[in-house]
Chains A and B, each alone.
Chain A
Amino acid sequence: MSDKIAIIGAGMHPWGKWGNNFVTYGLKAARDAIKDAGIKWTDVDFISGAATMRCGYPGYVAGATFAQALGWQGAEVNTSYAACASGSQALAAARAKILAGEAECALVIGADTTPKGFLAPAKGYRPEDPDWVRFHIGITNPTYFALYARRRMDLYGDTLEDFAAVKVKNAKHGLENPNARYKKAFSVEDVQNSAMVANPLRLMDICATSDGGAALIVCSEDFAKRIGKSDAVKVAAISTVTPTFANEVVEMPDIATDSAIASEAVRFREQLPKKAYEEAGLDPKDIDVAEVYDLSTALEMDWYEDLHLCERGAASYLVRNGETSLGGSIPVNPSGGLACFGEAVPAQAIAQVCELTWQLRGEAKDRQVEGAKAGITANQGLFGHGSSVIVTK
């Protein structure tokens, strides 16, 4: 039996700060994905939603919310929540159902409407909540990204120009992407003239939060064959592993790492793609394109190394030689990445797979990675959530 599933449809609602109900974004993405797949809504027998925590009860039961909004038709339903990895968890649930023979064709969907301003923890005196502790002592999200960035500078000689070059590259990639929120070219000087947030990172080094929606139609290889789509791209691996004790890198929202005095220190960001490569039976050198979570410019460079696209510490060489730009040896974030999208949490991991689907089909137009046959996604979020998905031709 095959352990792969086919991706026959992809759809998105453009990212932005639209301020509408999140369901409207998901609906557009879902209907586009269904049309792209060339199936009827009633062909879908499993609906796998990625939840949003910011849109009330309908967001907690996103799968059912979208099932109702698209018109009840009796399909089974699931909702997953795993912070930034929610979309991949929803995809994993669909794959499990399909490979178990319990479903043939599934809609995987996520959408979000983000609130204005900071997402702060509840008030009071709550030292048992690590999120409360770190905000109380003044440790915000950019703190962590800045710590990773500064360590790169001191250890590997990365420069502020390298970080800015990642933003310049992603901005250029996203220029013609109809689903991107920011479609504007920037120079290294633009980045360096933006306000300092957490030294060495400036406002333009750090991604925003956005509204958006993304959807996929996935199915068994049999189903794809029956509808004449046996050459559809495949999901070859989904990794959603948790960290391994002792976690080497201090991660949001913790104020301390595990003690590695009696256990080996392990990098979580490296474990995520490692499992995906093993599952797909692929090597990093087999990868033609990557979509990674550039919550900051410097973090994108960490991902090059965690994905083994280069040796540890060598990411700056890829940037300086344009290897991760379109036309380079391993383009990263041809979509424009979070730099051009801003993060719409439950939709983002699905959007990464949408982009790889279009890239592998050769439908990415101005941002096409020529001849792409295999792509990988990577993301990481709060509380030990993360994912890496490999898509192949």
Chain B
Amino acid sequence: MQEKPKLPAIEGWYAEDDQGAHLIGSRCTECGTYYFPKQSLFCKSPHCQSESFEEVPLSRKGTIWSYTDAQYQPPEPYVAADPYEPYTIAAVELEHEKMIVLGQVISGVQVSDLKVGMPVELVLDTLYEDDEAKKTIWKWQPAQNASE
């Protein structure tokens, strides 16, 4: 059987290049404030009048701000596996942007494997599968070179 194609669960929010996976954000060209999801109308810093942005890849690496898991199945629009499989969640401070981004942690990593301050990196992984495709989302995984 042919492998299902991989499609983003949310379009235009993340991508993969030769450096790996990254979130797509925007950066105010005047004050340097980053936005995720992208902001393109005006800068939300009350001290900045800018309406000029550049689209930028956000840091692929960061450190854990906090973490938890989901023992109970969330309601829709979450698409749950049957039977439901609990997953781990991390809030991660990106390396450069001074911004915390939430996301699932790749499967196989438990709460007991994590610690505040631990280095992690972003990957794209399956959020759910439907008849046509594997729908991907960003997830966090412990940094591969952390122990080297």
Contact = CB atoms under 8 A, between A and B. Distances in A.
A136 interface: yes
Contacts of B32: 261-262
A263 B66 contact: no
Interface stretch (A190-198, A335-343, A345-353): A190-198
A100 interface: no
Interface in B109-141: 111, 115-117, 127, 137
A197 B111 CA distance: 13
A263 B33 contact: yes
Contacts of A311: none
A259 B77 contact: no
A263 B10 contact: no
A147 B98 CA distance: 18
A256 B45 contact: no
Contacts of A256: 36-37, 99-102
A138 B89 contact: yes
A154 B46 contact: no
A127 interface: yes
B9 interface: yes
Nearest to B36: A256
Contacts of A142: 68
Contacts, number: 141
Interface in B59-106: 65-72, 74-79, 87, 89, 91, 96-104
27 contacts: A124-B77, A127-B10, A127-B11, A135-B77, A137-B102, A138-B74, A142-B68, A143-B68, A147-B89, A150-B67, A198-B71, A199-B68, A199-B111, A201-B68, A245-B46, A246-B98, A255-B102, A255-B103, A256-B99, A258-B44, A259-B33, A260-B98, A261-B32, A261-B97, A261-B98, A261-B99, A262-B32
B45 A146 contact: no
A250 B68 contact: no
Given A133-B10, A137-B137, A139-B102, A261 B34 contact: yes
A123 B76 contact: yes
Contacts of B46: 245
Given A127-B10, A256-B36, A195 B102 contact: no
Nearest to B138: A137
Contacts of A136: 9-10, 77-79, 127
A2 B111 CA distance: 54
Query: Which of A137, A147, A250 has the most chain B CB atoms inside 10 A of its CB?
Result: A137
A140 B74 contact: yes
Interface of B: 9-11, 13, 28, 31-37, 44-48, 65-72, 74-79, 87, 89, 91, 96-104, 111, 115-117, 127, 137
Interface of A: 118, 120-121, 123-124, 127, 132-140, 142-143, 146-151, 154-155, 195-201, 245-246, 250, 255-263, 265
A263 B68 contact: no
B22 to A, nearest CB: 14
B116 A154 contact: yes
Nearest to B137: A137
Given A127-B10, A138-B87, A151-B66, A259 B34 contact: yes
Contacts of B102: 134, 137, 139, 143, 250, 255-256
Given A121-B77, A147-B67, A150-B66, A197 B104 contact: no
B31 A262 contact: yes
The 3 closest A-B pairs by CB, nearest first: A146-B68, A154-B116, A120-B75
A259 B35 contact: yes
Contacts of A261: 32-34, 96-99
Contacts of A255: 101-103
Contact of B65 (A149, A151, A201): A151
A261 B33 CA distance: 6
A142 B68 CA distance: 9
A119 to B, nearest CB: 8
Given A196-B71, A263-B31, 6 more contacts: A143-B89, A198-B71, A245-B45, A255-B101, A261-B33, A262-B28
A15 B83 CA distance: 36
A133 B37 CA distance: 11
B116 A155 contact: yes
A118 B75 contact: yes
A245 B42 CA distance: 14
Query: Which of B72, B79, B97, B115 has the most chain A CB atoms inside 10 A of its CB?
Result: B72
